[in-house]
Chains A and B, each alone.
Chain A
Amino acid sequence: MRLSTRPVGTVIDLTDCGLDAIDEVSDDPVFGRALRIGAYVTLGTFERDGRVADATDGAASCAVRDIVGVQFRNLVTVGGSVCGRFGFSDVCLLLLALGADLEFVGGGRTSIEAFLLDTAPCRDVLTHVIVPACPVRASYQAVRRQATDFPLINACAARTERGWRVAVGARPGRPRLVAGASAGGGIEAKPATPSISFDPTPEEVAAACSAAEGLVYSNNMLASGAYRREVAPVLVRRAIEAACGAASLQGAASAAADRPEMGEGAR
């Protein structure tokens, strides 16, 4: 509303609906232990909350701390970030990699993966984002032309007891999984993506990087599609390495040597 000229007839303030709380539950029907993050939780709270830090291995703070400024993040909400479904959204990327679910007033519970794949306008009201509260290793990576600007490409890798999920965003299209997604119909038929074992092999990392190269990239004022295609696999590799610790990435150095086609540009 601030930046557009679109007329808005009615604005309903939901700040007194109790949606600004973060609750830890142990009986979530899907995740068991989970964080229920109210849609009105600000990115500032999301950034500083210790439970969110534990559930995201600190990736939540990394994902949002470069968004404009503290004052801005004290206004922007998790729900607003999710429902906007903007391609550059650091929050959507992080939640996709974590395998989060969403709760809507009308539509009930759905995965953020399905919500991001859905191209229909959202006419529902998001109430909660549900994140598994299990042991996790995660890493968020991004490239920005300048501080506090939108990312021109970003990636996030998360390893939980359910396995690895790796996603790329700011393509400039919406974030997409490049590892850990299962094949399915739903809104849009999608192929399975490579799976990664708990301690990734070089071949599995290379497959995830290759899947990142295979996404659709296009141009906008921040970067060209070709540049994004070149950089995305590098961020995927860095995110996986950072999430599992480089020492535990089997043969990481030899994997890099085995892929001379990655070339200088990809570094």
Chain B
Amino acid sequence: MNISFVLNGKRVGCDIVPDTSLFELLRSQGCMSVKCGCETSDCGLCTVWVDGVPTLSCSVIAARVDGHDVTTLEGLQRESHAFAVCMAEEGAEQCGFCSPGLIMTVLAFERELAGRVPTEDEVRRYLAGNLCRCTGYMSQMRAIRRYLGMPREAAAVLDASIEKEGVA
């Protein structure tokens, strides 16, 4: 079946097998940032935006995006640069496999905040659907706090209490 949609600002026409997932379609279109880390719609690595809304591309039938707007990290290179620098400076990735999905979710969160600084709890809740096998999330949280302008003092106190109690 033929579908037509906007991918990272460019209109794309494809002839797909009906049960193609959006994840498979995007990688076939060269969007290799989109990863698959589970088979249960849990890990968030495949996160893309459909009409600006963060969505699990592994769980969307590609035919559903006909006429819609899809954004991957490849289409957010300028917008993602500042956060990527924060992540690099905080050592926020090890294997890096989860990073594209995390960045997509953080940028979506930033747009929803519309300039408001979130609480620690809001950040953790919003990112609950982005799993990382490597890091324990400490470095990502440092990067996110810096990027979203969250208080360093609260971050330092939280990190200290976590170190003391051994709670991740």
- Interface residues in chain A, defined as those with a beta carbon under 8 Å from any beta carbon in chain B: 2-3, 11, 13, 15, 44, 65-66, 68-72, 74-75, 147-148
Find A75's partner among B40, B56, B125 (CB 8 Å cutoff): B56
Given the interface contacts A13-B64, A65-B125, does A2 sit within 8 Å of B53 by beta carbon? no
- Confirm or deny: B41 has a beta carbon within 8 angstroms of a beta carbon on chain A: yes
The residue in chain A whose Cβ has the minimal distance to the Cβ of B129 is: A69
A residues in contact with B42, CB < 8 Å: 68-69, 72, 148
A residues in contact with B59, CB < 8 Å: 2, 72, 75
- Confirm or deny: B54 has a beta carbon within 8 angstroms of a beta carbon on chain A: yes
Interface string of B125-162 (1 = CB under 8 A from A): 11111100000000000000000000000000000000
Find B129's partner among A2, A13, A15, A71 (CB 8 Å cutoff): A71
Greatest chain B CB density within 10 A among A2, A3, A13, A65 is at A2
What are 29 A-B pairs with beta-carbon distances under 8 A? A2-B58, A2-B59, A11-B18, A11-B63, A13-B61, A15-B64, A44-B53, A66-B128, A68-B42, A68-B128, A68-B129, A69-B127, A69-B128, A69-B130, A70-B54, A70-B108, A70-B126, A70-B128, A70-B129, A71-B44, A71-B54, A71-B55, A71-B129, A72-B129, A74-B54, A75-B55, A75-B60, A148-B42, A148-B129
- Confirm or deny: B105 has a beta carbon within 8 angstroms of a beta carbon on chain A: yes
- The 10 residue pairs across chains A and B that have the minimum distance between CB atoms: A69-B129, A71-B54, A71-B56, A74-B53, A71-B47, A2-B59, A69-B128, A71-B129, A148-B128, A74-B55
The residue in chain B whose Cβ has the minimal distance to the Cβ of A48 is: B112
Report the minimal beta-carbon distance from A57 to chain B, rounded to whole angstroms.
19
B residues in contact with A15, CB < 8 Å: 64
CB-contacts of B36-95 with A (<8 A): 39-42, 44, 47, 53-56, 58-61, 63-64
Greatest chain B CB density within 10 A among A15, A75, A148 is at A75
Interface string of B84-126 (1 = CB under 8 A from A): 0000000000000000000001001100000000000000011
Q: How far is the CA of A70 from the CA of B41 in the complex (A)?
A: 12
The residue in chain B whose Cβ has the minimal distance to the Cβ of A148 is: B128
A residues in contact with B18, CB < 8 Å: 11
Q: Apart from A44-B53, A65-B125, A69-B128, what 7 extra A-B contacts exist at CB < 8 Å?
A: A3-B40, A13-B61, A70-B108, A71-B129, A72-B129, A74-B53, A75-B55
